[in-house]
């Protein structure tokens, strides 16, 4: 053996083998941190609305539109960020998104007019959240895990976002109560910058960066990948279903604090409810990720949306007490982001992981269009009627619709993939 060669048992070779073994878990841990910061901060922003309503004198529709723009920009930026990540790598994409996100949070508290609120809370935060959210992060994770482990890994990553919500909801409420929303948003901006160091562990592009995932034999360009997905009926049905998911989440995350005050309950109940959503979402996403590796993902999605509709119907007729709000939050938390590992896993299963960031980004756009209407409709309905009844019933109808449309999805792989 020449001096330049190393034996299979040499220290250098063993170190490289260990690094390869643990690299996917490093990517997963970093992805969990990014999603925790992304979702934990974002899902807590509705806690500022009651105080900002009182201080600014703007109506609920103004804030509803700001958060609707935020959700829409989240959706628009997600597929663009996915394409950038597929082309230039995950790290640089996440760094840019983290900077935009922090800037939007910092400027949101200083907004002096509805137009400035639309720019900061709407455009900037929405763009930052979209760049640093599921499509980019989950695509990076999916590429470093094998087919057998991918669904569970995606569930773990989605659960990581819930940990952020569990921690950030009470933290945000405490900061808002003690310092006011302006200072609280400055602190949240600083916290969100932790996305940047986490991004450095998520290196590589879609091509050839995975030590364990099989090479994808699909289209060789983004245009071809999009054209292939566009012709697939199941891709359209996934878009329709994820629209409903976005509507549900935006209604609750944006308007639960206002709804809680409308019921005459303390503001702390809304913060506790959002925290419970995060806590139970950990269980829901882990369970969904595990189940997606054992049973057909489309049936899991139908079950989740059907259960959402049932939970909301029960909530409509239940007395509105603190216990009811918390029980509703826990129930919806178990169903909150459990759709993500199944939807993203279904995309990777059918189309392969190569352009998953882009394809899941397109589905995420549909999700955020639904969120746009959920946030905006909630504010308009409240201003017109003084309650949220119509929004709750619309959520029920959409849940039933989503449960139905997932059933006929053709979830067979479009092509054979080479073994790792």
Report the alpha-carbon distance of residue 352 to residue 111 in Å, rounded: 43
Residue 419 lies in a domain: no
Give residue 415's pLDDT band: very low, low, confident or very high (50, 70, 90).
Answer: low
Give residue 9's pLDDT band: very low, low, confident or very high (50, 70, 90).
Answer: low
Helix, coil or strand: residue 207: coil
Give the rounded distance of the alpha carbon of 188 from its chain centre.
18
Q: What is the pLDDT of residue 169?
A: 82
Q: Provide the residue range defining the domain that includes 258.
A: 25-205+221-405
Angle at 131 between CA 125 and CA 132, to 5 degrees: 90
Q: Is 2 exposed, middle or buried (0-12, 13-18, 19+ CB in 10 A)?
A: exposed
Largest CA distance in the chain: 82
Residue 417 lies in a domain: no
Q: What is the CATH number of the domain that holds 189?
A: 1.20.1250.20
Asked if 162 contacts 338 with a C-beta cutoff of 8 angstroms, the reply is no
Residue 6 lies in a domain: no
Residue 418 lies in a domain: no
List, in order, residues 6 or more apart from 406 with CB less than 8 Å away.
237, 238, 241, 298, 299, 301, 302, 305
Helix, coil or strand: residue 205: coil
Locate 409 and state its tokens. 């999805």
Residue 358 lies in a domain: yes
pLDDT tens per residue across span 226-255 = 777 878 888 999 999 999 999 999 899 888
Q: What mean pLDDT do residues 16-45 have?
A: 80
Locate 357 and state its tokens. 């960031």
* In the predicted structure, residue 207 carries a pLDDT above the cut 60: no
Q: What is the pLDDT of residue 313?
A: 96
> What's this model's pTM, rounded to 2 decimal places?
0.74
* In the predicted structure, residue 3 carries a pLDDT above the cut 80: no
Q: What is the pLDDT of residue 5?
A: 52
pLDDT tens per residue across span 241-292 = 999 999 999 899 888 888 998 888 987 898 889 889 888 988 888 888 888 8
For residue 144, the surrounding DSSP H or E stretch is helix 134-144
Residue 12 lies in a domain: no
Residue 16 lies in a domain: no
Closest of 190, 42, 35, 174 to residue 121, by C-alpha? 42
Q: What mean pLDDT do residues 6-31 have?
A: 64
Give residue 8's pLDDT band: very low, low, confident or very high (50, 70, 90).
Answer: low
**How many domains does the chain contain in total?**
1
Asked if 66 contacts 117 with a C-beta cutoff of 8 angstroms, the reply is yes
* In the predicted structure, residue 121 carries a pLDDT above the cut 80: yes
pLDDT tens per residue across span 142-200 = 777 776 677 678 777 877 777 887 788 889 989 998 999 999 999 999 999 999 998 98
* In the predicted structure, residue 215 carries a pLDDT above the cut 50: no
Residue 156 lies in a domain: yes
């Amino acid at each position: 053996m020449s001096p330049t060669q190393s034996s299979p048992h040499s220290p250098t070779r063993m170190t490289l083998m260990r690094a390869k073994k643990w690299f996917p878990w490093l990517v997963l841990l970093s992805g969990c941190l990014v999603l925790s910061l992304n979702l934990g901060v974002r899902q807590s922003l509705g806690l500022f609305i009651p105080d900002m309503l009182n201080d600014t004198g703007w109506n609920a529709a103004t804030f509803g539109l700001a958060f609707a723009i935020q959700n829409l920009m989240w959706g628009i930026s997600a597929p663009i960020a996915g394409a950038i990540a597929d082309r230039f790598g995950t790290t640089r994409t996440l760094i840019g998104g983290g900077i935009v996100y922090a800037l939007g949070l910092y400027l949101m508290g200083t907004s002096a007019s509805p137009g400035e609120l639309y720019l900061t809370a709407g455009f900037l935060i929405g763009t930052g959240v979209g760049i640093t959210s599921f499509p980019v992060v989950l695509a990076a994770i999916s590429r470093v895990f094998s087919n057998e482990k991918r669904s569970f890994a995606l569930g773990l990553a989605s659960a990581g976002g819930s940990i952020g919500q569990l921690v950030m909801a009470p933290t945000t409420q405490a900061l808002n109560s003690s310092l006011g929303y302006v200072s609280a948003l400055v602190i949240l901006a600083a916290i969100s910058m932790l996305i940047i160091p986490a991004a450095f562990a998520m290196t590589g592009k879609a091509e050839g960066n995975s030590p364990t995932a099989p090479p994808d034999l699909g289209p060789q360009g983004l245009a071809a990948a999009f054209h292939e997905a566009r012709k697939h009926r199941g891709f359209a049905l996934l878009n329709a279903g994820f629209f409903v998911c976005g509507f549900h989440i935006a209604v609750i995350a944006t308007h639960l604090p206002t709804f809680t005050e409308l019921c005459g309950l303390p503001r702390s109940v809304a913060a506790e409810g959002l925290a419970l959503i995060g806590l139970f979402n950990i269980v829901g996403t882990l369970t969904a990720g595990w189940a997606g590796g054992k049973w057909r993902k489309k049936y899991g999605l139908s079950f989740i949306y059907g259960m959402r509709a049932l939970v909301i119907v029960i909530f409509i007729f239940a007395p509105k007490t603190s216990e009811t709000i918390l029980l509703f939050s826990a129930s919806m938390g178990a169903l909150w982001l459990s759709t993500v590992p199944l939807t993203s896993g279904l995309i990777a299963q059918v189309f392969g992981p190569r352009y998953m960031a882009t394809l899941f980004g397109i589905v995420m756009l549909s999700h955020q269009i639904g969120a746009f209407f959920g946030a905006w409709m909630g504010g308009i309905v409240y201003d017109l009627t003084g309650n949220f009844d119509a929004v709750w019933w619309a959520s029920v109808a959409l849940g039933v619709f989503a449960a139905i449309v997932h059933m006929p999805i053709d979830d067979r792989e479009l092509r054979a993939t080479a073994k790792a």
